[in-house]
């Protein structure tokens, strides 16, 4: 019989190591990006290799991520369950997505910037915000050498720069 408290504490330790630890001992052999676990590296490598290990049993569609297969099955083959927002009736393929969406309706913003008072709904949004506090502009226009913090900014700039 499985000890539920052991299982929970084991999952908690794994979560803490993956998400909160700054130790990233495993790196991608293609790009050098570092990860906390071997499993994360294996998943990431698919970005470079193009491997699509998840296949639809109804058609020839293949996917890099299991979540994308699940969404495909719901959307294309009506297999699975939609999760619906009780506020606006928007439909989602995963329970965690509707939960995060409902937090937006409720104004829940648990992620706070260390540099300013801004708050965010997701850790990803906070991560995308943080570069504004540092003068690190890693993206540049190949036409005029203007530099940008985010990739989307240089893409937007290129559309204007090429139009001129």
Q: Please state the rounded mean pLDDT for residues 104-133.
A: 90
Confidence of residue 140 (pLDDT cuts 50, 70, 90): confident
Round the average pLDDT of the chain to a whole number and report it: 85
**What is the DSSP annotation of 37-92?**
SHHHHHHHHHHHH----EE-SSSS-EESSHHHHHHHHHHHH--S--EE-TTT--EE
Is the pTM value of this prediction over 0.85? no
CA distances from 4 to 8, 17, 37, 148 (A): 6, 20, 23, 49
- C-alpha to C-alpha distance for 133 and 128, rounded to whole angstroms: 11
Q: What percent of the chain shows pLDDT beyond 70?
A: 88
* pLDDT, tens only, 35-78: 888 988 999 999 899 999 999 999 999 999 999 999 999 999 99
Q: Please state the rounded mean pLDDT for residues 16-22.
A: 64
- C-alpha to C-alpha distance for 36 and 14, rounded to whole angstroms: 9
Q: Please state the rounded mean pLDDT for residues 14-23.
A: 66
pLDDT of 159 above 60: yes
């Amino acid at each position: 019989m499985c000890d539920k408290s052991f299982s929970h504490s084991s999952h908690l330790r794994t979560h803490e190591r993956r998400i909160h630890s700054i130790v990233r001992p495993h790196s991608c052999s293609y790009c050098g990006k570092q990860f906390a676990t071997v499993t994360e590296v294996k998943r990431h490598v698919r970005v470079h290799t193009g491997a699509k290990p998840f296949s639809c049993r109804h058609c020839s569609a293949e996917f890099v991520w299991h979540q994308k297969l699940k969404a495909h099955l719901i959307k294309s083959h009506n297999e699975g369950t939609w999760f619906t927002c009780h506020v606006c009736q928007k439909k989602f393929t995963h329970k965690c997505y509707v939960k995060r969406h409902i937090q937006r309706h409720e104004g829940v913003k648990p992620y706070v910037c260390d540099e300013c008072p801004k708050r965010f709904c997701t850790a990803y949004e906070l991560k995308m915000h943080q570069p504004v506090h540092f003068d690190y502009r890693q993206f540049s226009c190949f036409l005029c050498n203007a530099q940008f913090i985010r990739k989307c900014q240089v893409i937007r700039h290129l559309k204007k720069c090429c139009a001129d």
